[in-house]
Chains A and B, each alone.
Chain A
Amino acid sequence: MEFAELIKTPRVDGVVLHRPFLPTVEGTLCLTGHHLILSSRQDNTEELWLLHSNIDAIEKRFVGSLGSIVVKCKDLWIIKLDIPGMDECLNIASSIEALSTLDSVSLMYPFFYRPMFEVIEDGWNTFRPEDAFKDLESMTDEWRLSEVNKDFNTCPSYPPLLAVPKDIDDDTLRKVATFRHGGRFPVLSYYHQKNGMVMMRAGQPLTGTNGRRCKEDEKLINATLRAGKRGYIIDTRTINIAQQAKAKGGGFESEANYPQWRRIHKAVERSNVLQESLIKLVEACNDQSHSMDRWLSKLEASNWQTHVKEILTTACLAAQCIDREGASVLVHGTEGTDSTLQVTSLAQIILDPASRTIRGFQNLVEREWLQAGHPFQVRCAQSAYSSNKARQEAPVFLLFLDCVWQILRQFPCSFEFNESFLVLLFEHAYASQFGTFLGNCAADRVKLGLPDKTVSLWSWVNRQQELERLTNPLYEANSLVIWPSVAPQSLLLWEGVFLRWNRSSKCLDEAYKEMVHIIEYNKELQNKVNSLRRQLAQLETEDPLLQSP
């Protein structure tokens, strides 16, 4: 298919662009295969380049012969284009609609994007499982790297290399895979160096209504327990939902078959409910009514903050079991690709100082989300404005980022990165020139040839000028476990995402700059004082004549 077929009117003059908090711009609108471009054709004015894949929904309005298109983006931005001429407007609208909903992944922009920067470090090779395993090996010899999934046959949503208990062979793993949802047998998620406890994740056990049992599964997870010690299984579903899952062939670990494990059920919501919640929250934020009652009741009704609280509470529980109780933990929900990953990755933010660095956080996203098979492609296909009925869309990753932001707010000096990094990841998960978030799992990425055909987001991020923008100037490495508060008073609405286009952030940005300035001035003075001190010492020593009198 040629993009040209979809573009009926490639160019319209005299288009007026309206954006929040910025002056309107009049210029020429151009449509290309991947971008909507508006240029005022004057020097020193910025051009608008909007990725079609970032467009979530459009609305057409007509007043006489003047048409307007309201473009609603996946990053929640809303702009309006006034287009002279009814036909032009209709054509542009239908082209945008077609181009923003392309079905074929291989037509996506990352396959056409050529970097305008020098790739110093190829992000596709930055976080390899082999390297992660080397780190693990330096701490413990109880785990091995299995290639059982090298052809993606054992578990289609897992990566080719997986860390499993040393004494469990590949045959056992294959058997366990048949007992777990989607073949997702228990694998290592995190090793807590402080006490040697581990966190594992998996899909739900397929016990069904007649209580099917799998000795190999029991053997696998028991292999991670110390003699005489009990472990915890954290099921992210309520007991009722877990019970109901039995009817569909799923289920949970019974006490009888897993006597060494204590099972705890939590209530982390999943896909459709979360998508609903996002839509309601964004709708509440865009409400123009100015009524406090209406705002608070809509905020409450969206349940977004409730989800944040539940996810964080569950992550705290997992971290507590590991760090405070000194027990190993297995986390799963149904598929093990959504709420499970929220919990395991947040628990690491709490427990592991390394995951709070810029590189460590990239590593975490790579391991616990991308490699772990969170289906980004389907989850992020639509955002809050789309009127299409949600199929598998859900803001699971956005909720994770929101939770990280909450912890960052509570421990503003313990993260090497700032809020901008989290916002950046949100944007790129939904629409990007980079291939990192394309596909649903490692197998997809191999099939699509992403490492060869696209640029990795990490290649772009890990450059000096980007890192500078994303670094938290207050960061001081903190080797401690950081326990966030989950009290409702402590959890705030993430303004940087949800109110980003509704209120001017000018004063807050200025405050951030002021903070950076204070810190940089301090460093500058330190350097000056140090160099003067050296100069002084030199002056005092080098001149024997001065010392003698």
Chain B
Amino acid sequence: MEHIRLPKVEQVKLLDRVSPRKSRVGTLYLTATHTIFVESEDGQRDETWVLHSLVSSLEKSSSSSSSSSGVSLMIHCKNFQLLQFVIPEEQDCQDILLSLQRLSQPESYEELYCFAYKPNVAEEERQREWDFIDLTSEYKRMGVPNSHWKLSQANQDYKVSDTYPSEVFVPESATLPVIVGSSKFRAEDDFPPCATTTEETTQPCVAVVSLCPASALGAWRMSRFERNRQQSAGKGYENEDNYSNIKFQFLGIENIHVMRNSQQKMLEVCELRSPSMSDFLERLENSSWLKHIKAVLDAALFVAKAVSEEGVSVLVHCSDGWDRTSQVCSVASLLLEPHYRTLRGFMVLIEKDWISFGHKFSHRCNHLDGDPKEVSPIVDQFLECVWQVTEQFPCAFEFNERFLITVHHHIYSCQFGNFIGNNQKEREQLEIQKRTHSLWTYLWSNRADFINPLYRSNHSQTQGVLQPSTAPYCFKFWKGLYNRFERGVHPRQSVEDCLRTIREETEQLEEQLASHKQKISKLEEQKWTVSMNIFDKSPTAWIFSPT
């Protein structure tokens, strides 16, 4: 509370970016967790709530339109909401700005919303939330441990790798010293564990996929350059001589800094006011965003094909192993494994490839006031890749677009504990499971909103490996996420909502049908006995018998 310099400002205008005439006047409140705008129009009490942890940047400028006096405060949010307020007094605006700057960039984890978020849930139930997704049973589903993969104790107490979970699966033949050696050899101590298994893991051949930018053609020349460059930084890639039976493949996915700048440019496109078509397409191209999305999907498709068609095991790595690697492994798993395309399976996938394998959520999503160079939309790209695939396979996924957008929202919102911290070790230190709520149960209990009505578990699209086309024209701009709050640009009628209503109605009809059938058979039975009774007494009653 000590950070709130000014709890309330009146006569604030919330501008409508599309049609300025629709702007609203009201009161702006700052609370410990939210900025709240309450419209003061008679009869209308529309409220706009913005969580402080969702604020990504703030801009103050003297109001551009001469007609309205005051100072403009622009709030850019991590969920791509953009709010522009006009505050009458310069000093008030300054106070709000300074308060929000502090509130939106907490200095310690303890300040995050998840520790303050206390819905009306019994403690016992809260504890159970954390058992909802259980990775041990997931590994069991995958069929490990087995004769080739075993549970390793090597990382107990995070002795070997801080960023890995304490329980990992490694090849049976790898003994403890090999794992330690392997991790020393790799940057940041990530040793190669098992991300997804298929029946083919027994094959001796392994494909090593490097996601660093080095084109597959002329890989040697490029990779030498890459090696020289990286070896000077103490990093490198597997020397082919030391890994027999191994194919190398370089797939160029850019690093986190390139991705951050690219998204920034792409968001500028979204924020343009009534751009022309050329403006839009040209800037979209210049942002390179879709190019990067395509690169990730290309790499994932490569891995999925290597596993499913050539039957080889795949070792995926980049320089650190928690960004590009997570993206590619998780998208590839999704293409390979129908289970990950279900609501629950998708949660498992995120839990396994992102949360447990040390994607640095708090750094990448800027949960705390930290190094801006650590921020990068890696997980956004993952979610977008999934969305792009859902567009090509409308029946293959149990969840819908809204689900992906909601997951995105809460990765940034800090309302749930799942994504807090940068690895499992940190989360244990923060006692996340003891003090916060889990997103997964929240999503599960609201699953009616997130189900794709076209999904049917026995549909051909839900079976087997998905092979999306990665031709450039198959990639679309994801307005559902990046223009999420611009109501005007979305379709005015939703096929999905229609189908959802119809399916709900169908379910009711099925119940009615069953109950009618039951009633009818009951009645007929009764009638039969009645008519039989009558028949006993009066031989003329036969006309009442059922036909």
Binding partners A and B: yes
Spot the interface stretch: B193-201, B244-252, B327-335, B490-498: B490-498
Q: In the complex, are the beta carbons of A532 and B277 less than 8 A apart?
A: no
Known: A510-B461, A514-B454. A488 touches B394 (CB 8 A): no
Q: In the complex, are the beta carbons of A489 and B483 less than 8 A apart?
A: yes
Which residues of chain A are near B510, meaning CB under 8 Å? 525
> A148 interface residue, CB < 8 Å from B?
no
Q: Which residue of B lies closest to A493 (CB)?
A: B473
Q: In the complex, are the beta carbons of B513 and A532 less than 8 A apart?
A: yes
> A491 interface residue, CB < 8 Å from B?
yes
Q: In the complex, are the beta carbons of B495 and A543 less than 8 A apart?
A: no
> A50 interface residue, CB < 8 Å from B?
no
Q: In the complex, are the beta carbons of A295 and B459 less than 8 A apart?
A: no
Bound CA span A161–B148, Å: 84
Bound CA span A291–B295, Å: 10
Q: In the complex, are the beta carbons of B513 and A528 less than 8 A apart?
A: yes
Spot the interface stretch: A99-107, A328-336, A404-412: A404-412
Residue of B284, B474, B493, B527 touching A414 (CB-CB under 8 A) = B493
Known: A292-B291, A412-B495, A485-B488. A507 touches B513 (CB 8 A): no
Which residues of chain A are near B494, meaning CB under 8 Å? 412
Bound CA span A295–B294, Å: 12
Query: Residues 205-217 of chain A: 1 if any B CB is under 8 Å from the residue's CB, otherwise 0?
Result: 0000000000000
Bound CA span A291–B531, Å: 80
Interface set, chain B 447-484, CB cutoff 8 A to A: 453-454, 456, 459-461, 469-477, 479, 483
Q: In the complex, are the beta carbons of A518 and B491 less than 8 A apart?
A: no
Q: In the complex, are the beta carbons of A413 and B476 less than 8 A apart?
A: no
Q: In the complex, are the beta carbons of A491 and B493 less than 8 A apart?
A: no
Which residues of chain B are near A1, meaning CB under 8 Å? none
Which residues of chain B are near A522, meaning CB under 8 Å? 502-503, 505-506, 509
Q: Which residue of A lies closest to B277 (CB)?
A: A306
Bound CA span A503–B473, Å: 9
> How many residue-residue contacts, CB under 8 A, span A and B?
173
Spot the interface stretch: A124-132, A223-231, A351-359, A534-542: A534-542
> A134 interface residue, CB < 8 Å from B?
no
> A90 interface residue, CB < 8 Å from B?
no
Q: In the complex, are the beta carbons of A411 and B491 less than 8 A apart?
A: yes
Spot the interface stretch: B21-29, B40-48, B80-88, B517-525: B517-525
> A299 interface residue, CB < 8 Å from B?
yes
Q: In the complex, are the beta carbons of A295 and B516 less than 8 A apart?
A: no
Q: In the complex, are the beta carbons of A508 and B394 less than 8 A apart?
A: yes
Q: Tell me, rounded to whole Å, the shortest Cβ–Cβ distance linking A251 to chain B.
A: 28
Known: A474-B495, A510-B460. A518 touches B453 (CB 8 A): yes
Bound CA span A514–B512, Å: 23
Q: Tell me, rounded to whole Å, the shortest Cβ–Cβ distance linking B448 to chain A.
A: 16
Q: In the complex, are the beta carbons of B523 and A503 less than 8 A apart?
A: no
Q: In the complex, are the beta carbons of B523 and A539 less than 8 A apart?
A: yes
Bound CA span A499–B285, Å: 20
> A529 interface residue, CB < 8 Å from B?
yes
New A-B pairs, 4, CB < 8 Å, besides A290-B471, A502-B471, A503-B474: A485-B488, A487-B488, A525-B506, A536-B519
Q: Chain B: residues with CB nearer than 8 A to chain A? A: 270, 274-282, 284-285, 288, 290-291, 294, 392-396, 453-454, 456, 459-461, 469-477, 479, 483, 486, 488-495, 498-499, 502-503, 505-506, 509-510, 512-513, 516-517, 519-520, 523-524, 526-527, 530-531, 534, 544
Please list 28 pairs of residues, one from A and one from B, whose beta carbons are closer than 8 Å in the complex, sorted by A's number.
A292-B294, A293-B288, A295-B472, A299-B473, A306-B276, A411-B493, A413-B498, A414-B493, A485-B489, A488-B275, A488-B276, A488-B280, A502-B473, A508-B392, A511-B394, A511-B454, A514-B394, A515-B499, A518-B503, A522-B506, A522-B509, A529-B516, A532-B516, A533-B516, A536-B519, A539-B520, A545-B530, A545-B534
